[in-house]
Amino acid sequence: MDAYHVTVLSNIGMISLIALSAYLLLVCGEISFGQQAYFGIGAYISGIATAMWGWPLWSGMLAGGLIGASAAAFVGALTLRINGFYFSIATLAFAEMMRLLLYVFRYQVEIGGELVGPDGENGFHGIRWIFENDISTVEFMWIIYGVLASVVAGMMFMERSRLGRIFRMIGQDDMLARMQGVNVLLYKVLAALIAGFIAGVGGSLYAHSFTYIEPQFFNVMLGVHGLAYGLIGGLGVAFGPLVGVAIDIGFLEAIRWIQGYRMIAFGGLVAVMLIFWPRGIFDEKRWYSIRRCLRRMCGAETS
Amino acid sequence: MTDFLQNCIDGVMIGSSYALLALGFTIIFGVMRRLNLSFGPTIMLGAFGGAWLYLHFNINPWLVLLACIVFTVAAGVYVERLCFNAIKRNVAITSMVSSFVIWMQLEEIAIHILPDRTSPFPPLFASLSFEAGPFYVRSEYLFMFAVAVAAVFAVERILHRTWFGLRLRAVAEDPRAAAYMGINAGRVSVYAFVLVSVLGAVAGYLILAADQQVTPFFGLWATFKGLIAMMLGGMGSLPGAIIGGLLLGVIETQSLWYFGNEYKDLAAYLVLFLMLIARPGGIMGQRLVERRRLAFRRV
Amino acid sequence: MLRVENLVTAYGKIKALRGVTLEAREGEVTCLLGPNGAGKTTTMFSIAGILRPTSGDITLDGESLRGLGAARVVGKGVALVPENRLVFPQMTVSDNLHAGAFSRRDDRKRQRDMEKIYQRFPVLRERSRQPAGTLSGGEQQMLAIARALMARPRILLMDEPSIGLAPIIVAEIFRIIAEINREGVSILLVEQNARMALKFAHRLYLIQQGEITFSGTPDELGQDEVIQRSYLGG
């Protein structure tokens, strides 16, 4: 595997996390245009934790995730009570607000005769955890995929649990969910919190993989992509967003003649998808039939 | 005090450009109950088309304006067909998402038209400034202000005095009833987008001509300024768009003056965010309480 | 058992209910009859805590339900089968049934209840792993009723269970309603189908333009000529 492929695969893994966080909210019927904010928060917080305070990666990642989660829950609690439109716009406003705040956020300390830390528009240099611990990009790729695998496994487990069912109920018909005795607002905020955590963890990995971050990375386009991946992959099953990421970064990137026009091709693809399959490739119905097929095949083999 | 007042004047002048953008959002939201997030990018694309012609053929600024309008209308109709007309299920939310996703397409097309990140943009007139006592105003902004006021009256007339406006409002109220009366909702929607694109292109041209340059970030900028101004003033309200735009302009210039350049946009977002929480309907608008409307319809 | 007193509910400035008073007695089928737009669904939504009444009171055995919110009203033993938005279409039938029991935490009893429900509605057992959106209209109505029963309600609120269904299925639905009632669940029913209501209800209320204009037994209603003529077409 050459360096280029390692980078592409690492990117797929990290972007998958923001796609998963958008997906979780989509399952609950809420559309967030601002998951990039929590991704950015996670990146900055974990970078500060490892590069400036000397924390290990895991604690930094946890901190990034937790701060991202609390920011998401804060935004959610304030705006989810109104209705979907306002939540979407508020997430967008919050994300841009965060990005602009990062432009003025300066907090640096001297380490080894060099200033380290976020420096406003000049970005945040020197998140050197992988160099200091002598971790190659391939090894870090495995770390990324380890984290991604546990997040996906956790989400698959959640989908089968009571919590997952509640999220789906709310997503399909929140009024009817309320009639079943579900405290809709509480669960929506909880979903926003979990989504914020996942995005924050993704951002932490991103900061440590690139070793340099700047506010411009966490712009609206990141959010557009995250949401598009969640939508195109399908809302039926938690690996849907991964399929979305793979289609864009993996498949379209590989086609020579699309190079340089990828966003045009992908944007068009998603827009057309929204017309015909508004709930993505693996939506609930298709996922149900796939599962039934699989069951039948397995049943045929055992009998 | 003089500074404060001068800031207010500047704010009102800049705000008139926001008001023009907000008008576009308000018309689409007011008559179609949908949010077109790629409104800004379509204007940006139109401006890139105009700038491309200007760079390669050095055409007259009036022709550049015309080109902006033509390209913006083309992009607007494209967005309408793909993200609004074609979508039948759960229209409000899906259209909003679709218009958000198509954004990346428009931005990349613009980058292919003019690969240089920043391109020059021609003004219509040479800049003048008018002074009155301690205060002064630049002519571009005065012109923009006049255009904004004229546009409100024109839109108001179109909506309430023409057959097209009547049809538009009928579709807005009840698409099915309008269809029974033989109104072609699809065509009305295209015309609405054409109207809005023309307004947007004029606004975009005036704003960019005042800066004399255009970048791909203009799409984001225009969407946000228009959206914030509309939401401040009230969703779907024409006077609200103007008030919201002017207010946004004043807030920005004041925070620019008192806190510095980095805080200008930050203040605008903060105000929007607080507004969403405290008074979601905006200053002039009715509260958009879809849930209650739905409940009402069922009863 | 369930008492509604002087209930006023408004949408903005328009009062949909202008002082509704009614009572659903323990073990009875109470029916709320009325034309379109009279405020039947509004009454149901107000009782279930989905709409917030402007004034008046709703009590279950003397305990006020007003302002509790939908989630806690279900916990008190009041379950609603809403009109037309019946099931979660993309969830399987069995998930839909589980959804009805979310206000309860007694897992073992829930399993037993599922079993009982499958016995009562064998068709649901056959389709238990199918997305609920693929069921027919009558089956969806049965699923909605079954799901409401999963909450172990003391009183079941049913909003026009017969709407849009073939007569033979309507008869089946009403047979089930009567059966549930015989097992001790009180029922408050909203109907436009007056003949069915007259046959099954113990007590009737007529609602017009947000006000109760008649209350009594089906026999008393039968004797009232004016109502006879305007509602039963006879």
DSSP string computed for B61-86:
HHHHHHHHHHHHHHHHHHHIIIIIIS
CA distance B13 to B3: 15
Cβ-based neighbour number of residue B57 at 10 Å: 11
CA distance B111 to B106: 9
Q: Dump pLDDT digits (tens) for A265-290.
A: 888 888 888 888 888 888 877 888 88
CA distance B120 to C212: 72
ipTM of this complex prediction, to 2 decimal places: 0.83
Q: Give me the residues of chain C with pLDDT under 50, please.
A: 234
Residue A59 has pLDDT above 90, yes or no: yes
How many structural domains does chain C have? 1
CA distance A118 to A45: 10
* Beta-carbon contacts of residue A49 (< 8 Å; ≥ 6 apart): A55, A59, A60, A63, A64
What is the model's pTM? 0.86
pLDDT class for B231, splitting at 50, 70, 90? confident
Average pLDDT value for residue range B238-253: 88
Average pLDDT, chain B: 83
Q: How far does B293 lie from chain C, in Å, by closest CA?
A: 9
In a domain, A110, yes or no: yes
CA distance B161 to B197: 20
Q: Dump pLDDT digits (tens) for A215-267.
A: 999 988 899 889 989 888 888 888 889 988 888 887 777 776 777 788 888 88
pLDDT class for A146, splitting at 50, 70, 90? very high
Closest residue in A to C130 (Cα–Cα): A288
Q: Dump pLDDT digits (tens) for A124-145.
A: 888 888 888 888 888 999 999 9
Per the DSSP assignment, residues forming a β-bridge with C31 are C189, C204
CA distance B220 to B218: 5
Helix A84-104, helix B91-113: angle, nearest 10: 40
Chains adjacent to A (≥3 CB pairs closer than 8 angstroms) = B, C
Which chain C residues in 57-116 lie under 8 Å from chain B, judged by CB atoms? 83-84
Q: Dump pLDDT digits (tens) for C197-230.
A: 788 889 989 888 888 888 888 888 777 766 666 6
* Top-confidence residue, C226 or B132: B132
Coil/strand/helix, residue A66: helix
| Strand residues in C46-142 grouped as ranges (E) | 55-60, 63-64, 78-81
Total residue length of chain B: 299
Residue B192 near residue B22 (C-beta atoms within 8 A): no
Confirm or reject contact between C42 and chain B (CB < 8 A).
yes
pLDDT exceeding 90 applies to what percent of chain A? 37
Structure tokens belonging to residue A273: 């998808």
Residues of C in contact with A283 (CB under 8 A): 90
Residues of B in contact with C83 (CB under 8 A): 298
Q: Dump pLDDT digits (tens) for B19-78.
A: 989 988 888 887 777 888 899 999 999 999 999 998 888 888 889 899 999 999 999 999
Q: Do A86 and B276 touch (CB under 8 A)?
A: yes
Q: Dump pLDDT digits (tens) for B178-208.
A: 888 888 888 888 888 999 999 999 999 988 8
Structure tokens belonging to residue A138: 């391939």
- Cβ-nearest to B292 among C11, C37, C83: C11
Q: What is the extent of the structural domain holding C65? A: 2-232
Residues of B in contact with A231 (CB under 8 A): 97, 101
Per the DSSP assignment, residues forming a β-bridge with C55 are C8
Q: Do B107 and A221 touch (CB under 8 A)?
A: yes
pLDDT, residue C85, reads 67
In 3D, which of A168, A161, A178, A181 has the Cα closest to residue C152?
A181
Residue A200 near residue A68 (C-beta atoms within 8 A): yes
Residue that has been written with the tokens 């439109």 in this structure: A85
CA distance C60 to C47: 10
Structure tokens belonging to residue B35: 């949010």
Integer-rounded Cα radius of gyration of chain A: 20
Q: What is the extent of the structural domain holding A74? A: 3-219
In 3D, which of A271, A231, A225 has the Cα closest to residue A248?
A225
In a domain, A182, yes or no: yes
Domains and CATH numbers, chain B: 2-298 (1.10.3470)
Q: What is the CATH number of the domain that holds C30?
A: 3.40.50.300
- Cβ-nearest to C103 among A181, A285, A292: A181
pLDDT, residue B288, reads 44
Residue B102 near residue B44 (C-beta atoms within 8 A): no
In a domain, A248, yes or no: no
How many structural domains does chain A have? 1
Residues of A in contact with C131 (CB under 8 A): 284-285, 288
pLDDT class for B296, splitting at 50, 70, 90? very low
In a domain, A123, yes or no: yes
Average pLDDT, chain A: 88
Which chain C residues in 44-63 lie under 8 Å from chain A, judged by CB atoms? 48, 50
In a domain, A177, yes or no: yes
Q: How many helices (H) and strands (E) does chain A have?
A: 14, 3
CA distance C201 to C203: 5
Residues of B in contact with A120 (CB under 8 A): 262
Confirm or reject contact between A172 and chain C (CB < 8 A).
yes
Residues of C in contact with B295 (CB under 8 A): 11, 45, 50-51
Average pLDDT value for residue range A3-13: 87
Among B97, B117, B262, most A C-beta atoms within 10 A, so best to mutate, is B97
Q: Do B265 and A96 touch (CB under 8 A)?
A: yes
CA distance C118 to C94: 10
- Cβ-nearest to A100 among B227, B265, B294: B265
pLDDT, residue B241, reads 85
Residue A269 near residue A284 (C-beta atoms within 8 A): no
Average pLDDT value for residue range A4-25: 90
> Alpha helix locations (H) across chain B?
2-32, 39-57, 61-79, 91-113, 139-161, 163-173, 175-180, 185-211, 218-233, 238-259, 262-278, 290-298
